[in-house]
Amino acid sequence: MPARKYSTDAERKAARRAQSAARYAANGKKRNADRAAYFAAYRAANREKAAAWRAANQEKLTAYQAAYYAENREKIAAKGKSWRAANPEYAAAAKAAWRAANPEKQAAYQAANREKSAAYYATYYVANRDKLAAYYAANREKYAAQKKAWRAANPEKQAAYQAAYRAANPEKMAEYRAANAEKMAEYRAANAEKLAATYAAWRAVNPEKCAAGQARRRARFHNVTHVPYVDAEVFDRDDYYCQHCGIKTNRDGNYRSHRAYPNKDHIVPISQGGHDALYNLQTLCKSCNASKRDRSDHIAKSRRSAA
């Protein structure tokens, strides 16, 4: 029998405990690494099991995450902020993906922060004008395609925008027409039917504008002065009395062919150089107008100026 190292069991146990504590302390790092590797391997080998567990405990998990988030809001926000600062490209891609996946939320956010973003972009554009111009020049085709798609998807907005632009920039429009006269004539020739249909539809909904345009063109054709007016101004001024026979004309309840229907008449016909303006216009009843035809009406004129 070899000599016993320890005289009592208690001594032996104490020595062994001390030895194992020392070994445990010395192997701390290795043990942690081993444990991490073990768990990583375990997780890798049991991925499906974990997914099944998560699926089965979704509510519990969601509640836990919500509680954790509520309790650590600032900590999480700070962590996210520093991560985004360190990974700008990933952050931008994640943002773009989120926006694409959540269009309603994105729209709501934009609507709620419209002024804030307008102010932000205004300063941003001013500060980055050159950079933006260069970027735009480098991505011209991409932007052109984007614009085209937007216009196709938003025809009313596009039409309203164009109308506003035309109204605000008459000189630019005139310059453009002058510079592109040939191109425009070619377009009109190639799209005659389409344009005729468009104009017909426009005339149907804009009778007054249409009449005003006709009056302008007729005056231009006869080289006489045109001062815009509407027919009702003539009738109101003459109080609906025929300036020739003196009967009271009436539009309400009368057909256009009725003899008492009010007619607007040029005292000196435009074809004879009379101006297209209130001062050369008078009210006639239908039958007086029909018998007058294209004569200058001095009688009626003198009648009105006497009244």
Q: How far is the CB of 291 from Zn ion (least distance, A)?
A: 9
- Using CA atoms, how far apart are residues 288 and 87, in angstroms rounded to an integer? 87
**What part of residues 100-119 is at the interface with Zn ion (CB under 5 A)?**
none
Q: How far is the CB of 234 from Zn ion (least distance, A)?
A: 14
* Binding window for Zn ion (CB under 5 A); candidates: 82-90, 173-181, 236-244, 257-265: 236-244
Query: Which CB sits closer to Zn ion, 110 or 302?
Result: 302
Query: Which CB sits closer to Zn ion, 210 or 245?
Result: 245
Q: How far is the CB of 304 from Zn ion (least distance, A)?
A: 13
Query: Which CB sits closer to Zn ion, 61 or 307?
Result: 307
Residue owning tokens 């009109």: 188
Site string for Zn ion, 19-58 (x = CB under 5 A): ----------------------------------------
Query: Which CB sits closer to Zn ion, 106 or 287?
Result: 287
Q: How far is the CB of 242 from Zn ion (least distance, A)?
A: 3
- Using CA atoms, how far apart are residues 39 and 22, in angstroms rounded to an integer? 25
Total chain residues near Zn ion (CB under 5 A):
5
Q: How far is the CB of 285 from Zn ion (least distance, A)?
A: 3
Task: Decide if residue 242 touches Zn ion (CB under 5 A).
Answer: yes
**What part of residues 272-291 is at the interface with Zn ion (CB under 5 A)?**
285, 288
- Using CA atoms, how far apart are residues 276 and 270, in angstroms rounded to an integer? 7
Q: How far is the CB of 205 from Zn ion (least distance, A)?
A: 33
Sign of the CA dihedral 231, 233, 235, 238? negative
Query: Which CB sits closer to Zn ion, 219 or 242?
Result: 242
Query: Which CB sits closer to Zn ion, 212 or 245?
Result: 245
- Using CA atoms, how far apart are residues 106 and 89, in angstroms rounded to an integer? 20
Q: How far is the CB of 244 from Zn ion (least distance, A)?
A: 4
For Zn ion, which residue of 91, 210, 245, 260 counts as binding (CB under 5 A)? 245
Cβ-based burial of 230 (10 A; exposed 0-12, middle 13-18, buried ≥19): middle
Task: Decide if residue 300 touches Zn ion (CB under 5 A).
Answer: no
Query: Which CB sits closer to Zn ion, 40 or 299?
Result: 299
Q: How far is the CB of 154 from Zn ion (least distance, A)?
A: 54
Task: Decide if residue 244 touches Zn ion (CB under 5 A).
Answer: yes
Query: Which CB sits closer to Zn ion, 245 or 268?
Result: 245
* Binding window for Zn ion (CB under 5 A); candidates: 14-22, 159-167, 238-246, 269-277: 238-246
Q: Which residues bind Zn ion (CB under 5 A)?
A: 242, 244-245, 285, 288
